[in-house]
Structure 1
Amino acid sequence: MSFHVKPLMTGVLVASLFMACNADQSHGEKAANGVADSSSNPVETKTPNSDYKPAFEGQTRIKGVKTQTPLDVKMLTDGLVYPWGITGLPDGRFLITERKGDLRIATAAGQLSAPITGLPKVNSEGQGGLLDVAIDPDFAANRTIYFTFSQDVPPGTLTAVGKGKLAADEKTIEGATVIYQGLPAFPSKLHYGGRLVWDKDGNLFVSTGERSDTVSRPQAQHLNSALGKVLRITKDGKPAPGNPKFDAADARPEIYSYGHRNVQGLAIHPVTGDLWEDEFGPKGGDEVNRIEPGKNYGWPTITYGLEYSGKKVGEGITQKAGLEQPVYYWDPVVSPSGATFYSGDLIPEWKNNLFIGALSGMHIVRLVIENNKVVGEERLLTDQQQRFRDVVQGADGALYAISDGEKGRLFRIGKK
């Protein structure tokens, strides 16, 4: 049976917590290929927070597009509790994480299993908890799963990667063990990153955040720290062969790219094999980036966002030699989270489009990408008024999305 898993390349004061959580919360088209026509307007109509200008045309507020295929949207269940990550199983079912520490199986009809036991203790305060989940490329043979979570490690917490085997009765994870810790630990409840996606060689890309605090923020630029990075590790949690080499003698060998704020989306382009990510900006400046090994993506030196106070971040610059520009950014924020490229045949006009769950935006982002540039944007499921946390393609070619909240929902987005 063919199936789709997320593509293979296939500090803290109450005020600051509130502000960071706000950020986390904070038309024509050619039907054949989804390219915007000259009469379509950008989907964003709100006034930007800053007067920063994009580095190139189309870097923000690209023209809107509209899906021509009639869509069938079904809410399959509202029985999830703060779900965070979703991935497909070979038989068409899904594994879904809940931040408090539970892992559930959902059928394509929305039936939920009891919580699966055997996972390590998680710290679910703030933005922490059980985060993403991915199945081993050889899951059918070894039943191994991988997961990220916020782990208590004095003097604080960190983003950890664990692995274990889904028991035959699907009631427990056997032999769960931590294979990687994103050091240093830091006393913050924010910005854990935590996404997982496989590369073509069976290594794991892992995202981390810079933990939000102004004290920890500069570590996004420090190569001796795993904070604010995209990492690439083996199935055993070791630095993956072929990772970029850095001049700094103390550079961590698992680092793949750096200068990130809080990466909550990772996806592999189904044609080019390139790694793409999305990350939260502060007040404005959410980004989509195409990740190249060894590159510096700028945070906090450059950004299209402002501090939550409205002041400029650092020197208040958006460009600097040697620092990568985002392919696309939003101001105001949409709070982009889990992402996937569409590679199915059910809705052909979506082929190779990038879909991203938007939390504060309360929609699913659709980005049409050509030659590594965004050429169209659409907002889907705006009528649902849900904080969308993650999205994945199912075995049936439909998209399945989970929404954040105490009554977290699972949606199917297919064709009428």
Structure 2
Amino acid sequence: MTVFFKTLRNHWKKTTAGICLLTWGGHWLYGKHCDNLLRRAACQEAQVFGNQLIPPNAQVKKATVFLNPAACRGKARTLFEKNAAPILHLSGMDVTVVKTDYEGQAKKLLELMENTDVIIVAGGDGTLQEVITGVLRRADEASFSKIPIGFIPLGQTSSLSPTLFAESGNKVQHITDATLAIVKGETVPLDVLQIKGEKEQPVFAVTGLRWGSFRDAGVKVSKYWYLGPLKTKAAHFFSTLKEWPQTHQASISYTGPTERPPRAADETPPRPSLYRRILRRLASYWAQPQDALSQEASPEVWKEVQLSTIELSITTRNSQLDLTSKEDFMNICIEPDTVSKGDFITIGSRKVRDPKLRVAGTECLQASQCTLLLPEGTGGSFSIDSEEYEAMPVEVKLLPRKLQFFCDPRKRGQLLPSAAP
């Protein structure tokens, strides 16, 4: 034993390196073991649903998965097959996996797809936007858009995840929680933005549109990968050297919020007596002329704003759902162009992690639809749900509660406490 400790002391550098390697290896193996336990628990929970009996005349629920194998730097397929696919199959659903080969393929496939009971998106923001755009471009979108959508976050950017699922630092748990949410069947209605250019077909977004200097600097962060943790600040610093102050000129016209119609009753009320029905019919007959006058459509009031901003964003309220609200609107945020270089670097670095962050003095407008006009020769790009599009004049319209998304029941209880049945 003395010789052993003497050897360790004489070769302390090798000993230190060996201890570090063993510690790292043990931590890695323990992490893998914990991930396997999470997968096993999720599969057992899904199997409970799969073992449930269905009536003889009922059909097995059909789920169509749109998987983007290129998401997460090519790791999406492995992540899906190890963490999500077993749960879906054990749940008793008839699962069909469609793997996309190129950008825009999901839109084309959805135009031709037959009816399904569930649509599942396995990818990031880009894949999700393709799917919802394909759904809402269909000729029968009024009925097809009622199909619930599940989202399995496999991409590098998954902006909708915090709305639908609880935050988790463990990738495996995040994926299994999202997949179990589909199996459990709890849904929540989300707003959609319809964004239409002068010539292009409309695209649809569940998060929003960004245009400005913070966005432009944020997309260049990956170019400075060699600077490690300083890459985000470096991207914003070098952006200030090219041009300053950075302002974006535009004109925006908008209409205010619209009144939200009352929710339909969950249960059908009992039919009133014949006497009450006759009285109601007579009352509605005599009140008809007054109702006709009151129901005349009042003209929409449009307001116009000339803006000079460092960044403009048009976003839904999906990150802060409120079914008790009496109005439907989207948020138009105009950030001031008086930001200093230091604040631009500091705030811009934080906005990469949290795009909802706003500069002090930001003007926020509430609108149901708007028209954004850009000066001739305006360059640059928009970010629509984290996907890049050429900057151009656009019309943006809010489609309130247009799509139903599966969400974690615990998260649904936090977001919609008043909506619980």
TM-score, normalised by the number of residues in structure 1: 0.25
Higher Cα Rg, which structure: 2
Q: Which has the higher strand share?
A: 1
TM-score (norm 2): 0.24
